[in-house]
Amino acid sequence: MRDGDILIFKGEEVNSILKNRELELIDTVCNAYQAHALEDSTLPHSTFLRFPNSEKNRIIALPAYLGGDFKVAGVKWVSSFPDNINAGFDRASAAVILNSPETGRPEAFLEGSIISAKRTAASAALAAQILSVEKKTATVGLIGCGLINYEITRFLMAALEGIQNLLVFDLDSSRANEFKSKCKLLADIEVEAVASVSEVFATASLISLATTAVRPHIFDISKCPGGTTILHVSLRDFSPEVILSSDNIVDDVDHVCRAQTSVHLAEQVAGNRAFMRGTLADILLGRIPARKDHESVAIFSPFGLGVLDVAVAKLVYERGRSERMGTLIPSFLPKPWR
């Protein structure tokens, strides 16, 4: 590539590059978290673009620079329109732009929804590896039967030993049954669609929530056995009281206390942030233990950090270039004015 050219990666190409790389992506996310925790990053707050008379639709900009071994800058522009599903589209769509950290000039434009889904799943699987009390997890619960929990299932099965059963729940039973069929294709495991969230809490020791909830709808997790790990990926499912009664690990304390997440609401109730024990990177770096104890319910609430998106996007960019993939747009940038 010459300076001024730009490389474009379509969704099919991104998917091809990242196929069967779950463990590599978990390592990438792990290293990105640690570089961020060591303050080798720049991570402004995400910007939410909302629409009049539409509480659930939004487009979010996540800019980031990540140093360490990454040395990458860029931004993810990701939309969430839940009703798209009824029109036959995916709920989320996204694009990632990568810029040279030396000149600031854009170098690549990548389909971003696949990157976003896989970095989210890798983050959840990493948390499950670190926070789970038992080395082997027999039963996993999945609340919300969309693409994100499907990717999380794929990553959990790559990262954890002993998964034998999946319990799935969705408000739309047809979506739950479709999800069940898709999961059965992943491996020879039992998949059961259950009738209530409480059944998931009572049975599974590892639970992932990936819903489109905009406000808390779960007020009691007392049925969870001691030592349960909950991956609260959708961020707004739990009441403040549930959060305050649990062992809370997040990805970034400042970032997660925004936008009316359950953790943000809990901060408003408590008047402080002491209920958050630390971040996943704090555990990775040995600053805090993985669990407060073996009896508490641990909840991981990841806001979703732009440093993960640019880290995974750079992996796609570099592997794509080495495999001569992508569409090169020559002279995308204008000639210098001077």
pLDDT (tens digit, 9 = 90+) per residue, 108-135?
999 999 999 999 999 999 999 999 988 7
Look at residue 2 in the predicted model and tell me its pLDDT.
Answer: 83
- Give the pLDDT of residue 157: 96
For residue 3, the model assigns a pLDDT of 85
Burial of 275 (0-12, 13-18, 19+ CB in 10 A): middle
The pLDDT of residue 305: 98
Q: What is the pLDDT of residues 33-82, one digit of tens each?
A: 999 999 999 999 999 999 998 989 999 999 999 999 999 999 999 999 99
Quick one: 210 exposed, middle or buried, by C-beta within 10 A (0-12, 13-18, 19+)? buried
- What is the SS3 assignment for 59? strand
Please tell me the total number of residues recorded for the chain in this structure. 338
Residue 206's SS3 state is strand
Question: Given a cut of 90, is residue 194 above it in pLDDT?
Answer: yes
Count of CA atoms in the C-beta half-sphere (13 A) of 276: 26
Residue pLDDT, tens place only, 138-168: 999 999 999 999 999 999 999 999 999 999 9
What six digits make up the tokens of 138? Answer: 């027999």
- Cβ neighbours around 34 below 10 Å, total: 15
Ordered structural domains, the chain, with CATH: 6-115+306-329 (3.30.1780.10), 133-301 (3.40.50.720)
Residue pair 169/197 in contact by the 8 Å Cβ criterion? yes
pLDDT tens profile 216-257: 999 999 999 999 999 999 999 999 999 999 999 999 999 999
Give the mean pLDDT of 264-293.
98
